[in-house]
Amino acid sequence: MRVVGANPLLLMARLARCGLFDDHVVYERPGSWTFAGGVLGEVVLDARPAGAENIADGRPPTRSGTLRTWWDGGERQEHAWSGRPADALDEAFRSCPFPQWNAYGWIAFEFAGPRHRGERLAHLIVPRTEVRVDAGEAVVTSVNAAEAERVATLLAEPGEPRPGTPEPVEVRVGGDTYRARVARAVEEIGAGRYQKVIVSRRLPISFPVDVVSTYVRGRSANTPARSFLLRLGSFQATGFSPEVLACVDATGTVMTQPLAGTRAFGRGAELDAATRRELETDPKEIFEHAVSVRTSQEELNRVCEPDTVQVTGFMSVKERGSVQHLGSSVSGLLAQGRTSWDVLDALFPGVTASGIPKPEAIDAIARLEEPRGLYAGTVLTMSHDGAMDAALVLRALYSDEHGAWLRAGAGIVTGSTPEREYEETCEKLSSIAPYVVPLP
């Protein structure tokens, strides 16, 4: 059906609020918006806490837990898993009984392990109904004809929902604790424990949040590489991802887009130009970006055909809401026998949200921070034909039965200072903090 002149962002908000779908995911790619609603199939991956006996004798804890699957018309299945979490998800979707399917959902930062703490690692659904809006045309696909008709009627209704009024969240709090974490990380880098680590801080919100209105307000003010809105179970999140963690098309072309190096943006043409020049010439920012691109190349070389990995647009400036970054694209051709799950395993977590080398950086994050959950994880879509699109979850709001919060981090390398890195987290939080809408 045609929806000429309709704002796709507001159409997504209308669908999220319509009451037909308890569980749903909205995922935006350039020029295309998809709403996935209802549950036709579900895959949930939980971690089992590491055994004390493994920790006591110094051996790495076993990566293991519980995999739960459900496909429409069948019984809910529960299996133990161990080894790579990506292999557990691959196995789950190989059991999907539908010849064609798309899956949508999220993966937590702790998916990377190896120290699982009993958290939920992944939650994905195959939806009953999908609505894709592209170039002014909405395509509704559903296994339920009556539901498809109701959705089409809803899309055709005149008028647009008005989002609530934001109540900006103060971002300049908790500075002393964060600066102390940065100082500790700088000491560990100086001692040669790792080259780079992203240290983040969690910012609780003191009021219940209207997540859908926050998505509309925030997306209208941001220029993300991807955006998303989701509610799966009691967990809700929305965000404006500055970078693509991984993209694999049906032909096997693989791409990742590391961003590293940050300065404020949106403070006027003259000041933005000055900070851009500073960003492009600052040795610390250039080093941080270069080592991130090198790591992305090494990771894609593990899953791509030899000599196909290349870098394009090296160190170009990407404007993302209240900040601007140095960005590059790294791409290659998927090797024979490799899958999108292998690509995810190779690239996850994003180097620009973890550190270098990754194992040592992940270990440092576990020492310096509380569990991250979805922050620095991914919201993604997967398809039966092997295609995948995964956004790095930054510039996001999170909400569950305990409350709502924001989170942001900064890349710590040799030459980092606690005050500058704290300021960078404030700049990043300002991409979403002014647009948080309270529940009425």
DSSP state of 435: G
Residue type at 157 in one-letter notation:
E
Query: Could you tell me the sign of the dihedral formed by the alpha carbons of 7, 25, 244, 174, in that order?
Result: positive
Instruction: Quote the CA–CA distance of 304 and 335 in Å, as a whole number.
Output: 4
Active site residue 243: yes
Q: Which of 49, 81, 107 is nearest to 344 (CA)?
A: 107
Q: Which residues contact 384 (CB under 8 A, 6 or more apart)?
A: 96, 98, 99, 100, 101, 102
d(CA 157, CA 29): 25
How far is 351 from 361, CA to CA, in rounded Å? 9
Check: CB of residue 50 under 8 Å from CB of residue 64: no
Contact 218, 425 (CB under 8 A): no
- DSSP-assigned beta bridge partners for residue 379: 106, 391
Q: List own/partner pairs for 175-179 with CB under 8 A and 24 or more apart.
A: 175/422, 177/201, 178/418, 178/421, 178/422, 178/425, 179/418, 179/419, 179/421, 179/422
Cα–Cα distance measured from residue 80 to residue 76, given in angstroms and rounded to the nearest whole number: 14
Q: Which of 42, 110, 243, 427 is catalytic?
A: 243
C-alpha span between 43 and 71 (Å, rounded): 9
Of 4, 24, 32, 391, nearest to 212 (Cα)? 24
What DSSP element (H or E) covers 130? strand 129-134
At residue 321, φ and ψ (nearest 5 deg) are 70, -120
d(CA 266, CA 106): 30
Phi, psi (rounded to 5 degrees) for 315: 60, 40
Active site residues: 243
